[in-house]
Structure 1
Amino acid sequence: MESKTANFTHIDANTNYPTMVDVSDKQITKRTAVAQSIVVLGDEIMALLSGNDIHTKKGPVFQTAIIAGTMAAKKTADLIPLCHPLALENIKVDICINETREVVIMCTAVITSKTGVEMEALTGASIAALTIYDMCKAFSHDIVIKETKLIQKTGGKSDYQTQ
């Protein structure tokens, strides 16, 4: 009888216990992942947008979120139990306002390694979004972190890109 968990990479097929994926036999390749989070800020908060940022008593919101997203991506293995600790080669967090006045956060993670950086990119985008929420909540709680998703990954066994 085949185990129902045989297709889950983080479950040991013999014991059904959680396990870190063994990457020791994988090839080292350049791996890149891009993740996106979208934050919808209410009109009261968006009215505070000046230039490319919102300035608060806590400081510039988007600049602070960029730093927080970068720091979080580097700490992914400390936050998600079965992630490999990685020596990231690059993290880039970009924040812009789209045509429907949503805050779009793009986090790109790059490494030359045996394992991918999707979780690092997703963590960076997520924490940047949470930082925006934290810094803006004093003005209004009319804030929605609408979605966080993987946009693209390259390197490793397969590539992926959203349609």
Structure 2
Amino acid sequence: MFLRRIRATIPSSVRFFSSNRGHDLTASIAELNKEMESIFGEPPPSNLAGSVDNLSTGPESRLVSPGTEENEKRLSHISRTGEASTASEPQLVSPGTEENEQRLTHISRTGEAQMVDVSSKETSKRVAIAGCKVLLGSKKVFDLVSANQVAKGDVLSVAKIAGISGAKQTSSLIPLCHNINLTHVRVDLTLNDKDFSVEIEGEAASTGKTGVEMEALTAVTIAGLTVYDMCKAASKDIQITNVQLLHKSGGKSGSWSRKQ
């Protein structure tokens, strides 16, 4: 009954102001507030005024136009806080920066494998030394190699030639290596009776625009695999270990040696 009295008191022009598009909204609200004050003895809560403002400024009025400064700040804030994200994109690094030089050079900016363009590099003498160790697994096998009594022949001599040949075939074995002209390849194999092993050291040299680390590493690895192949009939416990770069010189980065 009380609600009916309220509805009867409020003029129909006010109660249905929202359907009258030509009606003055502000005047209607003011008239409605007066009617409510006369009924309840006090004006309506002040937060109703905020509702009026919201009605006059719908959601579409709060949209920010693309390209505006406010929109750019909003997007920047969302990106930093992680509340919203777009498709992740790789952070590209400008060429020539220190960070760019430390990235994986064989990966393109789109994540694909690539061969490095060395045409802009300076020509210099480049040398690399690598090493590895072949653990023969037993004194018996070690004595056979030392006495040159392995059935397949002279293990150390064959492995030496294999290492040199391997260095010259590096670009064929490693897809993204450059085909360079080697000026020198050295492969040395030494027997170590303390742990029944064959210690291998390889050196590669060239005068050009790219380093020869891979050639030196390939030399000792192929030599080690050859030792394994020639001795595997006598032992299945052979291990090829410690394949590593020991020293390099030349090029923009200069000289480097492994700390022993």
Establish whether TM, by shorter chain, passes 0.5. Answer: yes
1:18 maps to a residue whose letter is A
SS of the aligned residue for 1:55 comes to coil
- 1:8-87 mapped onto 2 (5 Å cutoff): 8-13=104-109, 15-42=110-137, 43-50=139-146, 54-87=148-181
Aligned identity (percent) is 46
Kept after mapping to 1: 8 A contact 2:146/2:191? no
Q: Is it true that 1:2 corresponds to 2:91 in the alignment?
A: yes
1:39-76 deviations in Å (ceiling 9; x for gaps): 1112220121436xx33232100100000001111000
Q: What residue number does 1:140 align with?
A: 235
TM-score (normalizing by structure 2):
0.58
2:130 maps to a residue whose letter is A
RMSD: 1.8
Q: Is it true that 1:161 corresponds to 2:250 in the alignment?
A: no
Segments of 5+ residues of structure 2 without an aligned counterpart are 1-89, 94-99
- Determine the C-alpha separation between the residues in 2 that align with 1:143 and 1:21: 37
Choose 1 or 2 for highest CA Rg: 2
TM-score (normalizing by structure 1):
0.91
| Structure 1 residue 116 displacement after superposition | 0.4
| Structure 1 residue 86 displacement after superposition | 1.1
Higher helix share: 2
Going from structure 1 to structure 2, the CA distance change for 1:134 and 1:99 (only over 3 Å counts) comes to closer
- Determine the C-alpha separation between the residues in 1 that align with 2:167 and 2:237: 27
The size of the alignment, in residue pairs, is 160
1:130-162 deviations in Å (ceiling 9; x for gaps): 000000011111211122000000000222101
- Determine the C-alpha separation between the residues in 2 that align with 1:150 and 1:110: 14
By relative contact order (CA 8 Å, sep 6+), the higher-ranking structure is 1
SS of the aligned residue for 2:119 comes to coil
- 1:79-118 mapped onto 2 (5 Å cutoff): 79-98=173-192, 100=194, 101-118=196-213
> Following superposition, which runs of at least 4 residues in structure 1 exceed 3 angstroms of deviation?
none
